[in-house]
Amino acid sequence: MEKNDKEVLNEDFVDIKIKEPNVFKRIGNGFVNFFKVSIPNFFTKKLPDFFKKIGTGIKNFGINFAKRWKEGSIGTKISHFIMGFGNLYHGQIVKGLIYLAIEVLFILYMVLCPAITGPGNVKVPTGYKSLGNLVLQGQENRGFDPITMQIIPDDSSQLFLLFGLVTIAIIILFIVLYLSNLKSSFKADKDAIEGKKPTTIKDDFKSLLDNRLHVLMIAPTCIAALIFTVLPTIFMICMAFTTYNDVEMQAAGTNLFHWNGLSNIGAIFTGNSSLGKEINARFLPILGWTFIWAIFATFTCYFGGIILAILINKKGLKGKKVFRTIFILTIAIPQFISLLAMRNLLSGEGPVNSLLQSWGWIDEPISFLGNNVTGNNATLSKVMVIIINMWLGIPYTMLMTSGILMNIPTDLYEAARVDGTSRPKMFFKITLPYIVFVTTPYLISSFIGNINSFNTIFLLTGGGPSIGEYVGGETDLLVTWLYKLTIDKGMFNTGAVIGILTFLITSTITLITYRRSKAYNEEDTFQ
């Protein structure tokens, strides 16, 4: 018996319709699996495997090192002591001289230890002495120099730590170049055995512009990332394990601080010091509000943008371009201008309060954003910043979703209509799953961005309403609280701990949610 067109379309719809993803269930299961499976698996399997791989790597390195020594030419053997000798031995003059110059400069740097003058004319030795200075045991009250007729500046632990880390980075870089020197020499040995002419520096440059172009393009970015991102990050992580508190150090008239292990981390969770009590009292409330803010700020803008995009892209709607332009204006105007304008509108003496008072609706100004001296309402302030953030964030999602809606196959909707599916059901069974699938990475990055949303909170409420003697206010997020602890209070050690904890939280959430999403596990679904 032949099937009619409606039955065929119904079968096609069954085959191609998309199951509605239970996003929250997936995320919840992800967190449960993280604590029940991933963490035990990390200590029982992945960590031992990691150390096993390290051991295998060290073993292979030793084998290759011994092989180069045993099978290499006299030039390669001498290259273990004089960099570039193997290249000179094979006639690679320029390459050999470059390696030799690197070794000479490294030895001069490590042995001569040239002093670098830092802020306040503080002289900091480099080379091997900077490694010794990593113990952070400097001198103060160093007296008067009769030769220069000037007071000798006190040592600075901050500069000791910085240049110590720089020296470690230089040593690591030298080791990489040293191994490259051996590898290059051994390759020249092989070329000579096979009757090939060892490559010249000109050949290497041609290779970089041809089959190794990716190395040439990526190398500058990697170097810049190491210098301007990795090294400063390591420096600030080290601060978390010191007594570096700029305000207390200035009051004591010293530039010195010391290592104190895990004391700063313990103070946050146990409050075992005068400073720790204040931090301990505020950490969990601020952490909780940060998550509440991130959830509402993310999903209100996300679903609001989807609904707005569907309404604007509805067939038959006139003036679509006008509506899009109106909403895009909030993107075109710099965010800080919009936020400051809204702050002035909603202030105690702003137009909104003045208008409400003139209408007789209120007797006293309402503290919408918690920046009035009296009448502060923390709940109202939190609600207002979420609403204002919707005004700023929804247009971004609208623009992105508009493009996605245009790419949803029309066959899905046609099959659903023939099947008699209602519009709400089509939205939840077809439109929303498709959008969620495509935008999952954006949704995750938006959530993490809202956890670190500094501008919105700082420019609207300044973290207020304030909480008496404690640092920070009711609407402070971890990032704005971190700013106040470091910039206002000079508590760089505690700020570094907060920064580390924020990173651990955001990275954990990112990994769990993304690995549990369809965008990761079923990336071929819509291809």
The 10s digit of each residue's pLDDT in 102-124 is 999 999 999 998 888 877 778 88
473: pLDDT strictly greater than 80: yes
498: pLDDT strictly greater than 50: yes
pLDDT of amino acid 19: 43
> What does the pLDDT average to over 219-245?
91
Question: Model pTM greater than 0.85?
Answer: no
> What does the pLDDT average to over 240-250?
86
Contacts of 393 (CB under 8 A, 6+ apart): 297, 300, 301, 304, 305
Distance set, CA 283 to CA 379, 501, 516 (Å) = 18, 11, 29
Instruction: Look at residues 467, 469, 476 and name the one whose alpha carbon lies nearest to residue 498.
Output: 476
- 169-206: b (≥16 Cβ within 10 Å) or e: ebeeebeeebeebbebbbbbbeebeeeeebbeeeeeee
252: pLDDT strictly greater than 90: no
For residue 171, name the pLDDT band (cuts at 50, 70, 90).
very high
pLDDT of amino acid 6: 44
286: pLDDT strictly greater than 80: yes
Concatenating the DSSP letter of every residue in 447-510 gives: HHHHHT-HHHHHHHTTTPSB-TTSSSBTT--HHHHHHIIIIIT--HHHHHHHHHHHHHHHHHHH
11: pLDDT strictly greater than 50: no
Instruction: Look at residues 396, 421, 399 and name the one whose alpha carbon lies nearest to residue 313.
Output: 399
> What does the pLDDT average to over 507-522?
73
For residue 372, name the pLDDT band (cuts at 50, 70, 90).
low
150: pLDDT strictly greater than 80: no
For a pLDDT cut of 70, what percent of the chain falls above it? 85
Structural element, H or E, at residue 123: strand 123-124
pLDDT of amino acid 79: 93
17: left (phi over 0), alpha (psi -120 to 50) or beta: beta
- Alpha-carbon dihedral sign for residues 62, 66, 72, 74: positive
24: pLDDT strictly greater than 60: no
For a pLDDT cut of 90, what percent of the chain falls above it? 33
229: pLDDT strictly greater than 80: yes
Contacts of 297 (CB under 8 A, 6+ apart): 386, 389, 393, 450, 453, 456
pLDDT of amino acid 268: 81
77: pLDDT strictly greater than 80: yes
- 317-326: b (≥16 Cβ within 10 Å) or e: eeeeeeebee
469: pLDDT strictly greater than 60: yes
Distance set, CA 301 to CA 93, 293, 398, 448 (Å) = 62, 12, 9, 14
336: pLDDT strictly greater than 70: yes
pLDDT of amino acid 362: 87
Paired tokens of 246: 């700029």
Most confident region among 160-174, 316-330, 513-527 by mean pLDDT: 160-174
Paired tokens of 373: 């001296």
